[in-house]
Chain A
């Protein structure tokens, strides 16, 4: 067997944490991890946040971000141990043998310099080629990666091109010096689903063309299944399972791996149509001082105890719809009926009951709770404000709610900073429930959470809906979530509803163009999905 290109043995990575107000703490980020990558193969590193995948990816370059130290084990690159190597040695291999593609290309490029200069910088620095040759290679890579106007693309500045293009430019920058290993650190995580698929395809093809080996880091198993040959599953800095992509996806051994693979497979049976509790009729809206409508003639209905999922990408207007319904942004046209009454378009003129029965949960639980208030105060305030509950009665009710959100005892006097991501979101749910609402608007409530945690929250929400009969307006960009939770679906694109109906109706072809694009762009957890989509699209455009 060939010697592996990258051979990591018993790697240990540590850091010192400085929690404010406390003495510095010693943390172990990665413990006893061993894995190897052969020439020309792609290894997927998968895990939730905090699993150590980025840390290991950077370690492959002998780098530790912040105060992170590579303290134990060996990192053999082409047979040479680079852990603890001299800085000069590391600098000679970085940008030449190993290159890096960051998660946010927008921040990773120097805003003051043109793209071409940055793309060929390491190639020139390490003397791999002369300038003319390097520029020609760069242009070729731009072309291969599908960038517009490859000859002149390099003359632009980072702020003049889009996020997806920058991600591809960064890939070009990584491939230009003809490296042996490229570390891709969540390269498509920050992109819209429809952009992601193009960039993913471009990366896969570039890897295939250049025959380079790669570490592909992501938390999305469906994505990694499209690009990687082998997969290493990580959790809490330790290795959980390793195998080929086929093995991991189709016959996972460990319980944790199985959980990751089966995520979002909740299948929700949709409820039949019923008289609405919320009726949005012909609503149009625009922000003060702008000249275009952010919502165009939106009409949707929601029955009591059911869930309406509003799907769309960034800029589709889905969050704006929430703002209009809650009265933060008055509509310029149209009408919203709730609970049989017409809602006043402006928040200030609504009755307390109207406000109470319509609650909202936010995407980022961190900023949705006042950091200076305890969990008890946060959940207790609506009880006091709407129902006049005080003292012991209020405390009891808060504990009841905490039980309902599956959090149990001992949390009433804690502060938000002491809770985990999932727990924070549960507290926000309890706060919304405390008002005994009839409708809760969930604005991307699971988007910022790890897949397993998000699953837990979705299951909780479904249970609560069954118990309390509350309706949800569920805003999301993730179609898997929609399948798991929705009764009716509205697909939004640029402020208008392009498709609306029951879940089965909406998800059954024939589709309009946008819904088709959207649905086909969501990565599915099976091998060969990416090729299949690209093939279909090629056929479609050839047929036109």
Chain B
């Protein structure tokens, strides 16, 4: 499988992040919230990335934080993806009232920026992991709905779908054997984009103090904790920021590559 250099790099970095998240307990040199060194120490042999605002090891917090961030982002994007695509496909194939109702509902949800809804809802909701995952999942499901509905509708008007219907095939057969295989590429790419969005969103919420709460670490929260150090030239806040940036760019590169291969897969959607 030929892959441009950028996509390969993206894949490597993404893989590295995920592996670090899964094996966090093994990889992290120090515990999550133990103050092991002095405040804002520079990177050294003992603390590879230095220490943070109350003396915790940044590298360890980065690894554990990555675990949480990636876990929440993965969970919510999987939720968004499954909910959005199932509803999107249903709306496209059923048409009529079902389609109208779902589409109007989604239009309404998408009329308000996600951040604003999240802020409003987080005034009263408990700030637990479950709430955050559910909230982000639901908000993102709207975008996946739009895309999968559009993709499904494009495919549903093809003659081969009509031929299957004329044959007498059941609706479920048509969705899973005729429509879905042709919809995979754009959907998989979309999953990648949703993941990035989830990472950025949860980081932003944590940065604003409304996302993942201490003692759990999270990259966005780490930036928030260490931001004052920047005034004194302490670069502690930049490490988690860099981590977010690298992860986002890497996944973006992979998603771009998947999307560009859409038409090259044997007889992909159109050409």
Q: Which positions in A face B, CB cutoff 8 Å?
A: 20-21, 326-328, 347, 350, 352, 355-356, 359-360, 362, 364, 367-372, 381-382, 385, 415-417, 431, 435
Contacts and interface: CB of A to CB of B under 8 A. Distances in A.
A415 B268 CA distance: 11
Contacts of B261: 20-21
Interface in B152-184: 158-160, 162-163, 165-169, 178, 181-182
Contact of A382 (B2, B167, B181, B263): B167
B104 interface: no
B267 interface: yes
A362 B163 contact: yes
B166 A352 contact: no
A21 B167 contact: no
B234 interface: no
Nearest to B160: A370
A371 B163 contact: no
Given A367-B159, A371-B269, A415-B267, 20 more contacts: A21-B2, A21-B261, A326-B166, A347-B165, A350-B168, A352-B168, A355-B166, A355-B167, A355-B168, A360-B163, A360-B166, A370-B160, A371-B266, A372-B181, A372-B267, A385-B167, A385-B168, A385-B169, A417-B266, A431-B163
B166 A368 contact: no
Contacts of B165: 328, 347
B168 A370 contact: no
A356 B263 CA distance: 33
A275 B169 CA distance: 32
A328 B168 CA distance: 12
Nearest to A352: B168
B264 interface: yes
A328 B159 CA distance: 13
Contacts of B168: 350, 352, 355-356, 385
A328 B169 contact: no
A366 to B, nearest CB: 9
Contacts of A381: 167
Q: Which of B163, B168, B263, B264 has the most CB atoms of chain A within a 10 A radius of its CB?
A: B163
Nearest to B181: A372
B266 A415 contact: yes
19 contacts: A20-B264, A21-B2, A327-B166, A328-B162, A355-B167, A355-B168, A362-B159, A367-B159, A368-B163, A370-B160, A370-B181, A370-B182, A371-B266, A371-B268, A385-B169, A415-B267, A416-B267, A417-B266, A435-B167
A212 B168 CA distance: 58
A459 B263 CA distance: 35
A369 B162 contact: no
Given A20-B264, A416-B267, A417-B266, A369 B169 contact: no
A113 B161 CA distance: 40
Nearest to A350: B168
Taking residues whose C-beta sits less than 8 angstroms from the other chain, chain B's interface range is 20 to 34
A355 B182 CA distance: 25
A403 to B, nearest CB: 23
Given A21-B261, A364-B159, A370-B160, A328 B166 contact: yes
A371 B167 contact: no
Contact of B166 (A347, A364, A369, A372): A347
Contact of B267 (A347, A352, A417): A417
A390 to B, nearest CB: 16
B154 to A, nearest CB: 11
Nearest to B269: A371
Interface string B229-265: 0000000000000000000000000000000010111
A367 B154 CA distance: 11
Contacts of A355: 166-168
Contacts of B158: 367
A516 B126 CA distance: 79
Given A21-B264, A415-B266, A370 B166 contact: no
Instruction: List 5 A-B pairs, minimum CB-CB distance, nearest first.
Output: A371-B267, A20-B264, A21-B264, A368-B159, A417-B267
Nearest to B162: A328
Contacts of A415: 266-267
Nearest to B155: A370
Contacts of B159: 362, 364, 367-368
Contacts of B266: 371-372, 415, 417
A3 B178 CA distance: 61
Contact of A370 (B2, B178, B271): B178
A75 B158 CA distance: 44
A21 B269 CA distance: 14
A92 to B, nearest CB: 37
Q: Which of B160, B181, B264, B269 has the most CB atoms of chain A within a 10 A radius of its CB?
A: B160
Nearest to B268: A371
A370 B164 CA distance: 10
A21 B263 CA distance: 9
A193 B204 CA distance: 63
Contacts of B160: 367-370
A417 B181 CA distance: 16
A352 B169 CA distance: 10
Nearest to B179: A370
